[in-house]
């Protein structure tokens, strides 16, 4: 099982806090990208939600998300985990 899925499952099963999930996910994503490791499509899409997560309501801006939204995004990502990357489309002629 890949590290991203393990982290998502840990978040959804409440074995890790949202703050610890955020730090671990961003670290794993950075390490995978630096190593040239293929990142599952769902994990790549979830990155944007993790990046937008802000645990402190007083610092949360209009584009930031809270813990409930992060968990919702994680559930959606897990539901589509095995979907492949979308095929590239050719430009219209």
Return the ∠ at Cα 80 (arms to 21 and 15), rounded to 5°: 25
Q: Is 0.75 surpassed by the pTM of this model?
A: yes
Cβ-contact 40, 58 below 8 angstroms: no
Would you state the pLDDT for residue 83?
82
The full set of domain ranges for the chain reads 3-79
3 state DSSP class of 53: strand
Residues 6 or more apart whose CB falls under 8 angstroms from that of 88 comprise none
pLDDT tens, residue order, the chain (93 aa) = 589 999 999 999 999 999 999 999 999 999 999 999 989 999 999 999 999 999 999 999 999 999 999 999 999 999 999 887 765 555 665
For the stretch 63-70, contacts whose Cβ atoms lie closer than 8 Å and that sit 24 or more positions apart, written own/partner, are 67/18, 70/11, 70/18, 70/21, 70/22
Question: In this structure, which topology does domain 3-79 adopt according to CATH?
Answer: 1.20.120
Would you state the pLDDT for residue 82?
87
**Strand-pair partners of 65:** 53
Cβ-contact 70, 53 below 8 angstroms: yes
């Amino acid at each position: 099982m890949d590290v991203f899925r393990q982290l998502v499952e840990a978040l959804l099963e409440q074995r890790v806090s949202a703050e610890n999930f955020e730090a671990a996910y961003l670290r794993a994503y950075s390490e995978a990208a630096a190593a040239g490791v293929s990142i599952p499509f769902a994990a790549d899409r979830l990155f944007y939600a993790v990046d937008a997560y802000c645990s402190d309501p007083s610092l949360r801006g209009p584009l930031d998300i809270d813990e409930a939204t992060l968990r919702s995004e994680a559930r959606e990502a897990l539901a589509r985990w095995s979907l492949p990357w979308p095929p590239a489309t050719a430009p219209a002629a």
